[in-house]
Amino acid sequence: MSTSDEEGRMAAKPEDGTSGIPTLWTRPQRPRRDQPALSREQIVTAALTLLDSDGIEALSMRKLGARLNAGATSLYTYVANKDELLALAVDQVFAELPLPEPTGADRIGDAGGDPKVWRTAIEEVAEGVRAAILCHPWMVSVIGDVGMVYFGPSWMRLSEAFLALLEDSGLDLVDANEAMGVVIGYTIGAATVEAAWLSALAKRGREEQEWMDQLLPAVIEATKDHPRLHRLYTTQVDQEIEAGRDSSFLSGVRLILDGIEAAWAARSTDREGRA
């Protein structure tokens, strides 16, 4: 039997005989007595180090066990399979994000307050999630696993705090959830594209700025027959590519916040008209 077959067989049989989300986040951890004690936290920390240094392709329970001076079999006492381990690693990354707090200073629809505190707070949440993905680009391969990742305690705490911020800013819970979904969806999508781009450059051993400096003249030449694209690449492309990515991302978040304000104003007018 191959190593991958063995890991797959063991992964399919969690210790408590069950499967699914509850086993990951609620299964009690039991120390082993026949070897130096490990913990789930130690395993996740070691997995994060391996993922950040070598990427998701390098992660295996056997390799991780070797790093911890333990057999792969012993790791299954704490983590049922590699998918669970990845979800735990993502949750640990999210645990490092600061939680937003209700501002109490201004509300959606209020005049003045430039920049508005609620908008600044949301921008900080989005920038924090983006930064986490860019620092840990392997996350893009697993962050779409909604069932595992988004029921983790760290993400749940972040989501609860985000909803509280939006409710405090004047939205009801349903509207707050929709607004949060749009902001986070854009953030994860944009950061995933960025992370993939940066990972591709790293695999080629290329520096981003150097590569773009070499690529831009060819792009400008290729857009000659497309006047709008040509104008964009000759007049609007930021010469400092990293600063340009940062600015572009924040502009996107602010467009979404403009839309949230506009939707709030339209609904308020509609409610007043029916009153």
pTM of the model as a whole: 0.81
Contact 26, 16 (CB under 8 A): no
Nearest residue to 152 via CA among 99, 78, 61, 89: 89
**Using CA atoms, how far apart are residues 241 and 213, in angstroms rounded to an integer?**
9
- CA–CA gap between residue 200 and residue 177 (Å, rounded): 34
Q: Which domains does the chain have, with CATH numbers?
A: 3-93 (1.10.10.60), 106-205+238-274 (1.10.357.10)
254: tokens are: 């602010």
The angle formed by the CA atoms of residues 7, 8 and 9, to the nearest 5 degrees, is: 90
Mapped onto helix, strand or coil, the DSSP state of residue 169 is coil
pLDDT string in tens for the chain (275-residue length): 444 444 444 444 444 444 455 557 666 666 555 555 788 899 999 999 999 999 999 999 999 999 998 888 888 888 888 888 999 999 999 999 999 887 776 778 776 655 688 899 999 999 999 999 999 999 988 887 756 777 889 999 999 999 999 999 889 999 999 999 999 999 999 999 999 988 888 888 888 888 888 888 999 999 999 999 999 888 877 667 888 889 999 999 999 999 999 988 887 776 666 65
User: SS3 string of 60-73?
Assistant: CHHHHHHHCCCCHH
